A and B are shown apart, each in its own frame.
Chain A
Amino acid sequence: MAFTWSKTIYMGLDPIFLTELSISIIIFSTIASSKKSRVSKIKTADNEIFEVEEAVATMSNTIKIMAGDCSGGVIPLNNVHSTIFARVIEWCKKHVDDGEDLEYYKGALKNCDATFFEVDQAVLYHLLTTANSLDIKPLLHQGCQRFVDMINGKTVEEIRQLLHIKNDFTNEEEDETRKKLWSSVVGMNSFILL
């Protein structure tokens, strides 16, 4: 201790200031580490337990509310499977610092999310359903936008193929619709049923 003090005097730093500083550092790191250690435990439908930083987990309003009720215990998610939940958490980790303003997420998909959303349709739809039930609006919004991007610019037949839909209009009905041809303002050939 004496050695340290003499060193600080030599360096020209006020030893008292330095002591206060070191005490502050100790306190700060205690706080910081206790913040880090605030971890939410979440159990998915298939009984897998996830330990997630609280700030990340509470991006889901549903989890936020349930955490309030569970007070430190394990939060059960009875209709979310671990594979989907893992993906959701992955997205949340990326966006935990992006703030809550939904405006930030409106419009095109963020670049950092481009690969995240390059998934099978089935996965995408499960992501949407899960984002909805966990009430993570930004994720839901981005997921919907991904779907919109998928079908944008496609013709009717291409959309049917993409979504595995069989045309169920009868000939009569299709004739009716083709009668109501509407050349769109964007110059794309499309028609609308009234």
Chain B
Amino acid sequence: MLSCSRSLLSQTIKRKTKTKAKNKTKTRLKTNKNISRKQKFIAKNQQLEDNEEEEEEEGFNLKSSAPSHSHGVQPLGNLYFNPGSINSRNTGLGNLQILSDELVLEILGLLEGTQLGVLATVSKSFYVFTSHEPLWRNLVLDNLKGGFLYNRSWKVTYISTFCPSFDVSWNSRFSGLRVKDFYSDYLFQSWLCANLEMKPEWLERDNIIRKRGISLDDFVVTFEEPNRPVLLEGCIDNWDALGKWDRDYLVNLCGDVQFSVGPVKMRLEDYFSYSDQVKEERPLYLFDPKFAEKIPNLGSEYEVPVYFREDLFSVLGKERPDYRWIIIGPAGSGSSFHIDPNSTSAWNAVIRGTKKWVLFPPDVVPPGVHPSPDGAEVACPVSIIEWFMNFYGATKNWKKRPIECICKAGEVIFVPNGWWHLVINLEESIAITQNYVSRRNLLNVLDFLKKPNASELVSGTRDRINLYEKFKNAIEASFPGTIDELTLEAEEKKAQQKKMSFWDSVTDSKVGAFKFSF
């Protein structure tokens, strides 16, 4: 799915597996690996019926404001229902029809607004293609950066900015030209993902451990050391932010200050006026690592919960990597699967709103995610909603099930280092998150920074390559002997574990003998 990156090509492979998997979601077929051609045909028919159901059930699956594709685009499967029907996608593209949808969009991605406008009138097919919102989003962000004022859609935003004399107001009643006989899996799926709401069955599982008022020691022993996630209740009750941070307060407080939003920077008020209106697959997400430096009040109205106060990167002072972010976004925004940088652990506190979390342990790669062998890249993971549509179902039958939860205002989730995680906001949310290094994962972090491809993997700081040396030296300076101590402890533990398994086996054999003697 096209998002803020101009290239769709990395999505090409994903696209093929997606259409197969899409057919799987609503059918009784157990695996899609061995689907024969005939079964695929049946699957597509069922998909069609289900789509029709989906479209008619208002507010259940689709956002009620979008009962069907605004231009009438249908998935390719529907074409099978109308044998003899022509796909106006092809006739309207002429010589270009042999190109895939992604390639057509790749070409259109090079055009300016005027050129897109001209093409839009060539044929109905071009009209549909050139209406693809991500194209206009790129044009707006490239030309206006964060200085845009979102107006109904990216296309209208572009026109109202660059052609202010053009009257866009009459268009509010007219939702666009509807095209018959246009079939395209890619464009249909793109629209579907932008308009789908989270299904209840995706939100049912909540198997995280919840704790309230545990001691720091308990936390370290039960969760931090064994590297397990936990949801902590009640530990941010004393935050000023909980009572104070609502929209009006924040907008007044932040005024014209620019916050990091994806590839651009925006005023908070402008961001809210975007997030109120937008309906897209990957909404722009406000994720700023310098919020406390920009607005000191924001920094003083929260404090780090007691469990996470050991913060060893602080020895680097101003040279430390980015470590804390304010996160604001509408329903549907979030982060697709990733592992946090530099092998750090993290905590995430929800101040307003609700977040759905899905976590996998470090050794379990989530379905649908393809990290490169050196871990430097995660092959452009599918969008959040597409992951739920196509891959969430697979986790139900896996032995290694993910940890899931819904985190509400006032709750804090602990994300242990190395864990894969995905987050989606179920409503507009405001949260604070910090990454940190404590003694428990100091050695892990040093190992990570030592890696030969550190310059690609290490993030959040300008001076990537020297971070290992700097950090190590700074730790030695502030906490002399700690690294050696921890290394010794780790080696002892390993030796003990080996010993234990030996004794375990001895005990077992005793038990066996005991039973046997009966």
Among candidates A125, A154, A176, A194, residue contacting B96 with C-beta atoms closer than 8 Å: A125
- Alpha-carbon distance A194/B169, docked complex (angstroms): 11
Does A188 touch B at the CB level, under 8 Å? Answer: yes
26 of the cross-chain contacts (CB-CB < 8 Å) are A125-B96, A126-B98, A132-B100, A132-B102, A137-B9, A140-B106, A152-B115, A155-B118, A160-B123, A163-B96, A165-B92, A165-B93, A167-B122, A168-B88, A168-B92, A168-B124, A169-B123, A182-B163, A183-B165, A184-B113, A185-B114, A185-B163, A190-B121, A192-B117, A194-B171, A194-B176
Decide if B110 touches A193 in the complex (CB within 8 Å).
no
Question: Within residues 80 to 133 of chain B, which ones have a CB less than 8 A from any CB in chain A?
Answer: 88, 91-96, 98-100, 102-103, 106-107, 109-111, 113-127, 131
Among candidates B96, B100, B121, B159, residue contacting A156 with C-beta atoms closer than 8 Å: B121
Decide if A132 touches B123 in the complex (CB within 8 Å).
no
Does A9 touch B at the CB level, under 8 Å? Answer: no
B491 to chain A, nearest CB (A): 36
- Alpha-carbon distance A192/B155, docked complex (angstroms): 10
B108 to chain A, nearest CB (A): 9
Known contacts A185-B114, A185-B163, A190-B114; A125/B95 CB under 8 A: yes
The interface residues of chain B lying within 8 Å CB-to-CB of A26 are none
> Please, what's the 1-or-0 string for A118-156, where 1 marks a CB less than 8 Å from any CB in chain B?
000110011011001001010010001101100110111
Decide if B100 touches A129 in the complex (CB within 8 Å).
yes
Main SS at interface, chain B: helix
The interface residues of chain B lying within 8 Å CB-to-CB of A190 are 114, 117-118, 121
Does A32 touch B at the CB level, under 8 Å? Answer: no
Decide if A163 touches B121 in the complex (CB within 8 Å).
no
Total number of A residues with any Cβ neighbor in B under 8 Å:
43
A49 to chain B, nearest CB (A): 26
Known contacts A128-B99, A148-B111, A168-B123; A135/B117 CB under 8 A: no
Decide if A182 touches B110 in the complex (CB within 8 Å).
no
- Alpha-carbon distance A155/B125, docked complex (angstroms): 17
Decide if B106 touches A193 in the complex (CB within 8 Å).
no
The interface residues of chain B lying within 8 Å CB-to-CB of A148 are 107, 110-111, 115
The interface residues of chain B lying within 8 Å CB-to-CB of A129 are 98-100, 103
A106 to chain B, nearest CB (A): 9
Decide if B92 touches A156 in the complex (CB within 8 Å).
no
Decide if B121 touches A166 in the complex (CB within 8 Å).
no
Give 10 A-B pairs besides A132-B102, A144-B110 with Cβ atoms closer than 8 angstroms. Answer: A147-B107, A152-B115, A159-B119, A163-B93, A167-B122, A168-B91, A173-B177, A177-B177, A193-B177, A194-B171
Among candidates A126, A132, A166, A184, residue contacting B9 with C-beta atoms closer than 8 Å: A132
Residue of A nearest to B176 (CB): A194
Decide if B107 touches A144 in the complex (CB within 8 Å).
yes
Does B398 touch A at the CB level, under 8 Å? Answer: no
Decide if B120 touches A193 in the complex (CB within 8 Å).
yes
- Alpha-carbon distance A129/B106, docked complex (angstroms): 11
The interface residues of chain B lying within 8 Å CB-to-CB of A168 are 88, 91-92, 123-125
The interface residues of chain A lying within 8 Å CB-to-CB of B378 are none
Decide if B118 touches A163 in the complex (CB within 8 Å).
no
The interface residues of chain A lying within 8 Å CB-to-CB of B93 are 163, 165
Interfacial residues, chain B to chain A (CB-CB below 8 A): 7, 9, 12, 88, 91-96, 98-100, 102-103, 106-107, 109-111, 113-127, 131, 155-156, 159, 162-163, 165-166, 168, 171, 174, 176-177
Residue in B92, B156, B165 with the greatest tally of chain A CB atoms within 10 Å = B92
The interface residues of chain A lying within 8 Å CB-to-CB of B94 are 160, 163-165
A123 to chain B, nearest CB (A): 11
Decide if A194 touches B98 in the complex (CB within 8 Å).
no
B182 to chain A, nearest CB (A): 10
Decide if A165 touches B163 in the complex (CB within 8 Å).
no
- Alpha-carbon distance A121/B96, docked complex (angstroms): 9
A85 to chain B, nearest CB (A): 17
Decide if A128 touches B103 in the complex (CB within 8 Å).
yes
The interface residues of chain B lying within 8 Å CB-to-CB of A156 are 118, 121-122
- Alpha-carbon distance A128/B166, docked complex (angstroms): 36
Residue of B nearest to A185 (CB): B162
The interface residues of chain A lying within 8 Å CB-to-CB of B98 are 125-126, 129
The interface residues of chain A lying within 8 Å CB-to-CB of B102 are 132
Among candidates A126, A164, A194, residue contacting B159 with C-beta atoms closer than 8 Å: A194
Residue of A nearest to B88 (CB): A168
